[in-house]
Structure 1
């Protein structure tokens, strides 16, 4: 078991991040905590894609003489783009949360539903 954990620790970290983020998204009633949970979940997805792109003994994708495996730059570029989109999404979500708090005076999801439907 220890050898499996030692050789595939990235996948365990991914599952841990995804689990914590999903738990925060589902269980928390506070909107700021939901945004934090979304960011943790998103970080787990980033780590998963980067882990899948790893190749032992891989070289940069520059054509040279030799038959060593090359590492595809596409996952890294996609994750870099996803990080930028994630930061933008977090900024917009936090701006909306500030606006909701100034309007209603609470960030509790249940209280906001009650205020909206009354």
Structure 2
């Protein structure tokens, strides 16, 4: 199961990097979202995909799930949601002001 999750995370990283290298701002935002989802899967995979009881101490349970990767992923989800929201608002304002989302035109260089 860890191998499949690693391949999926690698695919998300590859698609995210490809989208970040594009010229349209919306594709760059989608690329950052895919990168953050790949990071979430990577953190979950590195914490081992063990099944067990919740980490509440009791004498009847023998195996517990490590809560640290889950806490890190929850924090990462909140941060990536905030960054994605900020980037979407920034892209909207840039489009409304300049009537384009092409980064070459926003940069002011003349490429034809």
- Output the TM-score relative to the length of structure 2: 0.85
TM-fit CA distance, 1:90: 1.0
Does the alignment pair 1:70 with 2:68?
no
Aligned residues: 109
TM-fit CA distance, 1:56: 3.1
Match of 2:11 in 1: 16
Gap change, CA 1:91 and 1:56, over 3 Å in 2: closer
Tell me, in whole angstroms, the C-alpha distance in 1 between the residues paired with 2:41 and 2:9: 6
Match of 2:33 in 1: 39
TM-fit CA distance, 1:59: 2.6
Question: Greater helix percent: which structure?
Answer: 1
Secondary structure of 1:8's counterpart equals: helix
TM-fit CA distance, 1:7: 6.1
- Output the TM-score relative to the length of structure 1: 0.81
